Structure 1
Amino acid sequence: MTGEARIDHLVTSGTFSLDGGTWEVDNNVWLVGDDREVYVIDAAHDARAIIDAVGDRRLLGILCTHGHDDHVDAAPEVADATGAPILLHPEDEVLWRMRHPRRAPDGRLVEGDVLTVADTELRVLHTPGHSPGAVCLYAPTLTAGAPDEGGLSGVGTLFSGDTLFQGGPGATGRSYSSFPTIIDSIRDRLLTLPAETVVRTGHGDSTTIGAEAPHLEEWIARGH
């Protein structure tokens, strides 16, 4: 019998490179599971720290919200150490291959997939815009809230990768991205979720759907 699902959180540091530029970044790595089994969402930068956070639990998979190198650079090492599969939306394989040309993902994350860990569902939402194969993972029953997240609480958690942040959409100024597409994804796929849903992002602080929804028109105006 598995225990109640919980969320563990790491912040790892490294670089993001695309279109000839390189930037220092801090990434959020999320682990969802219980004392026996767990998923890792975005294996960024520090494989050893991620493996240590998994501990002696069974790692069911490494879920990539998208293929940018800062979100996938540690994935093969974590996979090789644990035997867990790496899952990525197929439309982001072009980005994956920039970082890992000789190692393919092991499986796909596509719209409608439902992954289960510790009796908790993670539903895959395809949310293109930041990248063609960007996905978010929605856990409608996962109770959210932790002291290190400013007291945010609610029922339902969205792991948004780089699609939605506190204060607006993810960046769309580089190759394989589209501002109109990310706005459509946020409007149609994310802002329709319950307002109390806590949004755990790929970088920076968490937020809620209710906090971000009123600002959609402001984001659209800024993007033109």
Structure 2
Amino acid sequence: MSASTFRIDRTVTSGTFSLDGGTWDVDNNVWVIGDDTECVVIDAPHDATAIIDLVGGRTVTAILLTHAHDDHIDAVSTLFEAVEAPVHLHPDDRMLWDAVHADTGPDGDLADGAEFSVAGRTLRVLHTPGHSPGSCCFHLPEEGVVFTGDTLFSGGPGATGRSYSSFETIIASITEKLLTLLPETVVHTGHGDSTTIGAEAPHRQEWVDRGH
């Protein structure tokens, strides 16, 4: 029997994001990390069926949420029912979770430095507040990849103009937790195209100047 191949799969789901009385159309990335037997799902936006199809019958060992804005968690109940994997969220985003899923809670809390094993690899949690208080990224050093949710995009930091967000905090998080990773680290984002740490790092001062 040939060895099962570790891989990172992506699907894009479409729906809406609502906060502070506004609603916007959005396309979200969903990342599934693992091999032919088991996997971890990062975020549960909009369309549980599309995520389940990407899982493809594998055992899901965890559903990891980068943060609890509704466009990242609105399909989590249906996904959980299908794959029966524990849902993990940083507790600092519980108020955002409760606005969407008032009758149930996550199964586990994310914490900075916590680790999740999948298919012989280790995902390390990086708590990166700013876009929301409980925003987290997931670093996969063996593959040279970090999953940044809405903390860092191709072109700069995630939005900080809405409730519970802070521009100064997201800049500190990116500087201390992400720009310290190897420059060749691939950044897989919550929306849009992937980038690298090396491509984004030179623009930090531009972000700061633009944000003030």
What's the TM-score bracket when you normalise by the shorter of the two chains? over 0.9
Question: Structure 1 residue 3: deviation in Å?
Answer: 2.4
Is the 1:169–1:182 contact (alpha carbons within 8 Å) kept by the matching residues of 2? yes
- 5 Å-filtered alignment, 1:39-54, equals 39-54=40-55
Amino acid at match of 2:19: L
Number of the residue aligned with 2:30: 29
The correspondence for 2:189, drawn from 201, 214, 224, is 201
- The CA RMSD measured in Å over matched residues stands at 1.0
Amino acid at match of 2:142: T
Q: How many residues align?
A: 211
For residues 173-202 of structure 1, the C-alpha deviation after alignment (integer angstroms, 9 at most, x for no partner) is 000000000000000100000000000000
Number of the residue aligned with 2:60: 59
Give SS of 1:9's match: strand
Is the 1:112–1:124 contact (alpha carbons within 8 Å) kept by the matching residues of 2? yes
Number of the residue aligned with 1:169: 157
Q: What TM-score do you get using the length of structure 2 for normalisation? A: 0.98
Amino acid at match of 1:76: S
Question: How many angstroms apart in 1 are the aligned matches of 2:94 and 2:5?
Answer: 34
Percent of paired sites with the same residue: 64
Number of the residue aligned with 2:124: 123
Question: Structure 1 residue 103: deviation in Å?
Answer: 1.6
Question: Structure 1 residue 138: deviation in Å?
Answer: 0.2
- 5 Å-filtered alignment, 1:23-172, equals 23-142=24-143, 156-172=144-160
* 62-71 or 48-57: bigger deviation: 48-57
Is the 1:2–1:36 contact (alpha carbons within 8 Å) kept by the matching residues of 2? no
- Note the residue ranges of structure 2 that are not aligned, 5 or more in a row: none
Question: How many angstroms apart in 1 are the aligned matches of 2:80 and 2:188?
Answer: 23
1:185 equivalent in alignment to 2:173: yes
Question: Structure 1 residue 109: deviation in Å?
Answer: 1.1
Question: How many angstroms apart in 2 are the aligned matches of 1:112 and 1:188?
Answer: 14
Structure 1 stretches (4+) deviating beyond 4 angstroms? Answer: none
Amino acid at match of 1:123: R
Number of the residue aligned with 1:152: none
Question: How many angstroms apart in 2 are the aligned matches of 1:5 and 1:43?
Answer: 21
Question: How many angstroms apart in 1 are the aligned matches of 2:192 and 2:57?
Answer: 28
Is the 1:61–1:85 contact (alpha carbons within 8 Å) kept by the matching residues of 2? yes
